[in-house]
Structure 1
Amino acid sequence: MAIAKIIELNASSKTSMEDAVKSGLKKCAESVKNIKGAWVNEIKVVTDDDGTVSEWRVNLRVSFIVE
């Protein structure tokens, strides 16, 4: 019987939401094995004074199988 665990993490990117997700999962995979999936729980942006998005932030939930 497999047991899955879910962890929550935050990641950011200056370029896009997609890049924030990818970089967060890549960093997570450095210490967590058997990642099976993830979902974006929340999206936030940081803006400049003129309203231009300067940073994308995501809150991810990542599931993995416990060995």
Structure 2
Amino acid sequence: MARSDLFAGSSVGVQSGRLATLAVQEALPMSIARVTEITASSTVSFDDAIAQGIARADKTLRHVEGAWIQEQKVVVREGKIAEYRVNMKVTFVLAD
């Protein structure tokens, strides 16, 4: 990515080949994120298990930014899929 693309639409400018340090600090505030691992299940599908897991995480955690689906598995009863389960890592940004 070109330097001009990185700062497109922001107030940061290039001055004599160097970025204005103060402007960079104002335009790009530092965020700290945390990752928590959760397991969710559904009797409908993997997609539903993911949606339920994200919805539940969003009730407890503020500023949920994304999730990585680490593992998918099914519970089998009497030869049929009874439950879809997902293990996911949910990323959220810590509040100031």
TM-score grouping bracket, smaller chain normalisation: over 0.9
Report the TM-score when normalising by structure 1.
Answer: 0.93
Aligned pairs (5 A) from 1:1-67: 1-50=30-79, 52-67=80-95
Report the TM-score when normalising by structure 2.
Answer: 0.66
Corresponding residue pairs, total: 66
3-state SS in 2 of match to 1:15 = coil
Q: CA RMSD in A?
A: 0.7
- Kindly report structure 1 stretches of 4+ aligned residues shifted beyond 2 Å: none
Q: Which has the higher contact order (CA 8 A, sep 6+)?
A: 1
Partner Cα distance (2:56, 2:93) in 1: 17
3-state SS in 1 of match to 2:34 = strand
Q: What stretches of structure 1 of length at least 5 have no aligned partner? A: none
Which structure has greater strand proportion? 1
Structure with greater Cα Rg: 2
